[in-house]
């Protein structure tokens, strides 16, 4: 087989290889422990290589459709009856993020969990969760999305409750599975409503034939609220500090990826599936009334501006509440979890600004007046900033969680009140923490500044208050992490922390990978935006190309 065969089958291989690895891991673990570790990282590396090949192909050649079971996507040119994976620029971009997080998490957890029992089940569940995340990202079918969403949430809830000797972690896992299953059930209800109207489960077929009737509005409301609950948007965010704060650090790294995959679901549904309904124009009809005046009627088009504004209000609330609660915490991981919550608000702000910046004007074409609907110019840059912020946030918050795990391994303390003066003994960890601090609060020259600058400048043009609140949240995030730096790293030596040693090498290596990527993205943001982000933005706003991926030639 040659390279083109591998590229052709890679969407299925990216999901199938971790799934096979997950079920082989207990057998491999019976032989030797080191063999199991090497097996896990081998599976992750093979998947990352496949993702890189697929992303390279999609970014240069366009949408790639993979039909399970062979054959054409359409039967008789009208029915799409097979499950298919449709990979465009946005899917490839999210897959790159997931693969980076996977490799780092597995390298980190070699020595993080060295003295714990139950490591066999841990590696099995991590590979299963990765398979679920890749399936959720690459799929082109609505019910398939629901199934992979459930797989990811079941696997990750068992991983959150990893520390079974304490009661708090099990409670966090229980809350996560309750929230997750109720959200997924309402998503299934909305998928059922959409299926009953259009007799199709395929995303491209739905995008082609959608019209914004009353049942579609109900489905859209259910989908947005269900996915927003999984993504952690205020006021449905309260599972997030519990789940992120009480799980092992490498699991939290992958949970950040799973949360962003749910946010990707919101992007796909509102921009691609409902894209045609949001872009319709209406015709202006003229009719005469009894008094002889002319009555102008307009066929209804959806009120996208109010949808945009409710998303903007939710995003602003998320940013403010996340930062305010983070200032008060004294448990290190819970504090970083609230900071992660504040960063999710930035990602939702971009899509809200895009919808809220719609205008309508009356144009005259062929002696018939039409109402033309368009978007102002700054919506594309707001989307660019939000999508760039997805990868920046995953890397920055991931680095901070890994540093928190390193502190826990070295000192066995979780509360910030008992720490102090760690910078004398743990030099590398301090350097990584300072890099993470500069990146998360949006200071130059790291990558946080590049994406936040785009978000500030584009949301300022819609309404100045939004830009001001975004800048304020960044400044308060800087305050939060300077507090952590002062309490944990600077200061005199605490007597009972006299003999902490530096953490083992594999954890430093994992943190080093992420720090290098952060610095490279920060120093050359134009290379990243031109090659990775701009194809993703072009792919997600172009719902016609998404439809043509399945209906090619019609």
Partner 1 sequence: MRLLIMKLILGGFLMVFETISSFLETLSTGSGLWNPLVWGVIAIIAFFIAYILRGFGRKDFKSEKEKAKVFLSGNPELKKEDMHLKSSNVYWGFLESLKWVYNVLEKMHTGNVSDYILWFVVIMGILFIIIGVI
Partner 2 sequence: MLFNFPYIAVVLLILIGLATVIYKRNLIKIVIGITLIESGVNLFLITLAYRKDSIAPIFHGFTASKDNVPFMSLPVPHALTLTSIVIGVAVLALMLTFIIHLYRHYNTLDARKIGREEE
Binding residues (CB under 8 A) for partner 1: these are 174-175, 178-179, 182-183, 186, 214, 217-218, 220-222, 224-225, 228-229, 235-236, 238-239, 242, 303, 306-307, 310, 314, 321, 324-325, 327-328, 330, 378, 381, 384-385, 416-417, 419-421, 444-445, 449-450, 453-454, 457-458, 461, 479, 483-484, 486-488, 491-495, 522-526, 529
b/e code 16-32 from CB counts within 10 Å (16+ = b): ebbbebbeebeebbeee
Write down the least CB distance from residue 280 to partner 1, Å. 16
**Residue 226: other Cβ atoms inside 10 A:** 25
Look at residue 334 and give the partner it binds from partner 2, partner 1, none, a contact being a CB closer than 5 to 8 Å depending on partner kind.
partner 2
- The interface partner of residue 170, options being partner 1, partner 2, none and the CB cut-off 5 to 8 Å by kind, is partner 2
Q: How far is CA 276 from CA 190, 271, 411, in A?
A: 19, 9, 56
Q: How far is the CB of 49 from partner 1 (least distance, A)?
A: 30
CB 87 → partner 1: shortest distance, Å?
Answer: 27
457 binds, among partner 2, partner 1, none (CB under 5 to 8 A by kind): partner 1
Q: Which is nearer to partner 2, 79 or 359 (CB)?
A: 79
Place of tokens 């501006």: 305
Looking only at the bridges linking them, the beta strands covering 358-365 and 282-288 are unpaired
DSSP β-ladder status, 282-288 and 84-87: unpaired
Q: d(Cα 19, Cα 140) in Å, to the nearest integer?
A: 19
CB of 382 to partner 2, least distance (A): 35
**Nearest to partner 1 of 282, 491 (CB atom):** 491
- Closest distance between partner 1 and the C-beta of residue 62, in Å? 25
Q: Which helix (H) or strand (E) holds 360?
A: strand 358-365
Q: What is the DSSP letter of 504?
A: P
462: nearest Cα among 323, 338, 313 = 313
CA 303, 304, 305: angle at the middle one, nearest 5? 95
Q: How far is the CB of 117 from partner 2 (least distance, A)?
A: 16
Nearer to partner 2, 107 or 151 (CB): 151
Q: Which is nearer to partner 1, 132 or 183 (CB)?
A: 183
Phi, psi of 287 (to 5 degrees): -140, 160
User: Is the Cβ of residue 31 or residue 182 nearer to partner 2 in the bound state?
Assistant: 182
Instruction: Choose between 262 and 386: whose C-beta lies nearer to partner 2.
Output: 262
Distance of closest approach, residue 444 Cβ to partner 1, in angstroms: 5
Count of CB atoms situated within 10 Å of the CB of 362:
11
Question: Which positions lie near partner 2, rule CB under 8 A?
Answer: 143, 147, 150, 154, 157-158, 161, 164, 166-168, 170-175, 177-178, 181-182, 185, 188-189, 192, 195-196, 199, 201, 242, 331, 334
Least distance in angstroms from the C-beta of 409 to partner 2: 22
For residue 285, give Cα distances in angstroms to 291, 360, 362. Answer: 17, 16, 12
- Closest CB to partner 1 among 100 and 450? 450
Which tokens belong to 469? 């609140």
Residue 428 interacting partner from partner 2, partner 1, none (CB closer than 5 to 8 Å by kind): none
What is the side-by-side strand order in the sheet with 294-298? 294-298, 282-288, 368-375, 358-365
Q: Which is nearer to partner 1, 66 or 456 (CB)?
A: 456
Count of C-beta atoms within a 10 Å radius of residue 117 = 9
The residue (of 182 and 295) whose beta carbon lies closer to partner 1 is: 182
Q: Least separation, in Å, of the C-beta of 333 and partner 2?
A: 12
CB within 8 Å of 147: residues ≥ 6 apart: 135
């Amino acid at each position: 087989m040659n390279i083109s065969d591998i590229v052709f089958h890679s969407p299925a291989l990216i999901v199938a290889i971790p799934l096979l690895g997950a079920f082989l891991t207990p057998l491999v673990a019976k032989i030797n422990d080191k063999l199991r570790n090497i097996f896990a990282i081998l599976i992750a590396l093979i998947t990352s290589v496949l993702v890189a090949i697929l992303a390279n192909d999609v970014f240069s050649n366009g949408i790639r459709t993979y039909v399970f079971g062979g054959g054409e996507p359409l039967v008789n040119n009208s029915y799409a009856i097979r499950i298919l994976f449709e990979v465009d620029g946005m899917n490839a971009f999210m897959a790159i993020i997931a693969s980076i997080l996977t490799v780092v998490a597995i390298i980190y957890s070699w020595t993080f969990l060295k003295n714990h029992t139950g490591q066999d089940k841990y590696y099995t569940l991590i590979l299963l969760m990765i398979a679920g995340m890749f399936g959720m990202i690459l799929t082109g079918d609505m019910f398939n999305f629901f199934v992979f969403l459930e797989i990811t949430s079941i696997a990750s809830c068992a991983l959150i409750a990893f520390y079974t000797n304490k009661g708090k972690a099990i409670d966090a896992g229980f809350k996560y599975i309750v929230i997750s299953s109720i959200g997924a059930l309402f998503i299934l209800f909305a998928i059922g409503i959409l299926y009953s109207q259009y007799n199709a489960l395929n995303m491209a077929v739905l995008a082609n034939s959608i019209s914004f009737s009353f049942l579609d509005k109900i489905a859209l409301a259910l989908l947005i609220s269900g996915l927003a609950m999984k993504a952690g948007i205020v006021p449905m965010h309260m599972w997030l500090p519990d789940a992120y704060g009480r799980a092992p650090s490498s699991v939290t790294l992958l949970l950040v990826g799973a949360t962003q995959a749910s946010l990707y679901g919101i992007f796909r549904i509102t921009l691609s599936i409902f894209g045609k309904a949001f872009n319709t124009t209406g015709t202006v009809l003229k009719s005469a009334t009894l008094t002889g005046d002319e009555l102008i009627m307009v066929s209804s088009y959806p009120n996208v501006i109010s949808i945009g504004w409710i998303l903007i209000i939710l995003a602003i609330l998320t940013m403010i509440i996340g930062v305010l609660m983070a200032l008060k915490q004294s448990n290190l991981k819970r504090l970083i979890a609230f900071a992660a919550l504040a960063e999710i608000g930035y990602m939702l702000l971009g899509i809200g600004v895009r919808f809220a910046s719609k205008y309508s004007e009356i144009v005259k074409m062929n002696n018939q007046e039409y109402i033309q609907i368009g978007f102002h110019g700054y919506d594309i840059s707001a989307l660019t900033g939000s999508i760039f912020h997805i990868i920046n946030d995953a890397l920055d918050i991931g680095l901070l969680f890994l540093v928190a795990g390193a502190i826990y391994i070295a000192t066995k303390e979780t509360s910030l009140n008992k720490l102090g003066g760690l910078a004398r003994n743990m030099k590398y960890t301090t350097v990584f923490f300072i890099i993470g601090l500069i990146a998360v609060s949006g200071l130059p020259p790291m990558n946080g500044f590049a994406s936040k600058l785009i978000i500030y400048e584009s949301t300022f043009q819609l309404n100045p208050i939004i830009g001001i609140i975004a800048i304020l949240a960044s400044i308060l995030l800087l305050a939060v992490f300077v507090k952590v730096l002062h309490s944990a790293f600077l200061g005199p030596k605490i007597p009972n922390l006299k003999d902490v040693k530096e953490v083992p090498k594999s954890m430093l290596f994992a943190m080093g990978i992420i720090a290098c990527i952060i610095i490279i993205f920060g120093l050359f943001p134009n290379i990243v935006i031109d090659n990775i982000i701009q194809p993703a933005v072009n792919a997600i706003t172009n719902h016609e190309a998404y439809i043509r991926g399945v209906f090619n030639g019609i």
